[in-house]
Structure 1
């Protein structure tokens, strides 16, 4: 399992939201590039970047911060938030993002996901964000009646590199991940699944690792900033 430190960007700063609420953002750093370097210095092999403003506005907003991160580190990064057309996908991949995460368009324009996966093999991921098992879109502000597992199954034959599954009610809450639902999703599809939301301790990582599902990785944010989870130690455990 790969541990992905999360850098969530709002107004050019590193923040963490509480259960997806933009007005409940805690600022942890005003220097995203320095934060990225700190994670890499601790040994991480990937970074998980989210343009929070972009997710709400439907276009890249924190591009300057993302580009600063790319210039500062040499590990691969995946990016989501506000990426809703092929031109934006192409642009980010050309700038050095290793993997683009498509969330809202996976619901609203699934053919774009398929087209992007064909055009950029291995570099397109689907972000599935859910409350009580139902998918939410547009920065988690709009809820649907679409079941998360049903959405994931739509892309079985699309060639996407991964699914990032986020339980919104666990995100930033330091209450532990939804191991059961994440494992059930991973067991329901052949696409690699990355767990997100609520990972706040070594015990959480071990629970995901030992869930009986073939999880590809886990994302953690607030716990790393708060010091509840030591990145170097977590990497050792997962290795």
Structure 2
């Protein structure tokens, strides 16, 4: 059984580390004015993979918080996955050359699936697809717009092209500490062969324990944000739980 990975999230807005509620840019809480310092703290705590999102970039359709990402890449030695505003091959290439381990393509997965396939084939194992869903339907443009396409339908477009992972976010739970939507995430994981990472709502150690149950055996991990920042999730306990899985 593959190890479960806990990804601490750093969401970037105006160069700061923030958390949103349900993807609403007007409902942002600043948790650290120095994202690189925050990244270093996560690495020191023992996390072994970072999840970064350029929130401004997701709305603009191009990288906006590149300077903050650059500083994070200079600060940490653990792998980093990055999403937000990555809509063309030149941007994919540039981030991977800078040291990002894995790029996350979200809006492009709906609007330009051929580009996503090409990126995954060009960079096998280094492209993830972000599926941010509201009532099972994928939202795009930083969640500002909803599509009519079910998440599982989009996921199946990318079978066997080298996609490293699917990141499934339940928008209704994101940033609200309501707990992961494991039912929907597991349903997606069972419908495709691509590893699936759960996102949105992780609130406590109980959510981490749920990731380690037999029914969740196909999940590759989960992203945690607000629960870490506000102290609801003890990083040492969570990482020890995951480490003891085997």
- Structure 1 residue 229 and structure 2 residue 233: aligned? yes
For 1:150 and 1:210, the matched residues in 2 are separated by: 26
Q: After the TM superposition, which of the residue ranges 152-161 and 27-36 deviates more from structure 2?
A: 152-161
For 2:71 and 2:208, the matched residues in 1 are separated by: 29
**Over residues 135-186 of structure 1, what are the superposed CA-to-partner deviations in whole Å (9 max), with x where a residue is unaligned?**
0000000001100111111111221000000000110001101010011111
Q: Displacement of 1:76 after TM fit?
A: 0.2
TM-score w.r.t. length of structure 2: 0.96
**Over residues 71-117 of structure 1, what are the superposed CA-to-partner deviations in whole Å (9 max), with x where a residue is unaligned?**
00000000000000000000000000000000000000001111111
Matched residue SS, 1:232: helix
Q: Report the count of equivalent residues.
A: 239
TM-score w.r.t. length of structure 1: 0.99
| The one of 115, 121, 143 aligned to 2:118 | 115
Aligned CA RMSD, in angstroms, stands at 0.7
For 2:187 and 2:214, the matched residues in 1 are separated by: 9
Contact residue 183 and residue 211 of structure 1 kept, 8 A: no
Q: Which ranges of structure 1 fall in alignment gaps of 5 or more residues?
A: none
Q: Which ranges of structure 2 fall in alignment gaps of 5 or more residues?
A: none
Instruction: State the partner residue of 1:155.
Output: 158
For 1:5 and 1:211, the matched residues in 2 are separated by: 23
For 1:139 and 1:209, the matched residues in 2 are separated by: 30
Instruction: State the partner residue of 1:210.
Output: 213
For 2:176 and 2:143, the matched residues in 1 are separated by: 15
Instruction: State the partner residue of 1:191.
Output: 194
